[in-house]
Amino acid sequence: MENVLLTFTGFQDPYALGLIGEEEQPGPILSLLATKSFDRVVLFSTPRTEKNTSATLRSLRKLFPQLLVDVVNFPLEDPTDYLAILRGLRKQTQEITYADPLAALPEPSEGFSLEEFVASARKQLILRAMELARGNQSEAARLLGISPQAVHKFLRKSTTDFNQS
């Protein structure tokens, strides 16, 4: 299953001035991504945070070139209108779920590795197929259009890699 971060960009993103010495410190989104791995990030941009969203997007593409990042405009005028936030999130999550997956592809740039990106996508697809097949490797292989041996080999290698780390 894909690990997705849905987040609003705020006034502290991508960087904020620290309390001591007023040095620039990573904001909430960059701080979270430095500690937790995600396959995809969806930045919700409100009318008052458009500049922060653009700067955060640039920083994410520079710091995490393999990460899939989407920006969704969220026309929210009052950040304390929680009912409007929930309604908007419900609508946006449905659209995100059914969006064109090609639109979320990262921009190739310095530091980008096609091999790493393809390996990550392959891993996510195989794990998702295993989840849908309730652990049945033959069924997962059928869903993916590959041989059961390929699924078995991938899982065996993943287990070996995990045990060695």
Model confidence over 84-125: pLDDT tens digits?
Answer: 899 888 888 777 665 556 656 777 888 888 888 888 888 888
pLDDT at 127: 87
pLDDT band at residue 45 using 50, 70 and 90 as cut-offs: very high
* Mean pLDDT across 6-17: 91
Q: What is the model's pTM? A: 0.58
Q: Indicate whether 140 pLDDT > 70.
A: yes
Q: Which residue has the tokens 């997962």?
A: 140
Q: Indicate whether 160 pLDDT > 80.
A: no
pLDDT band at residue 163 using 50, 70 and 90 as cut-offs: low
CATH architecture, domain 114-164? Orthogonal Bundle (1.10)
Q: In the chain, which segments carry CATH 1.10.10?
A: 114-164
pLDDT at 7: 93
Length of the chain in residues, anyone? 165
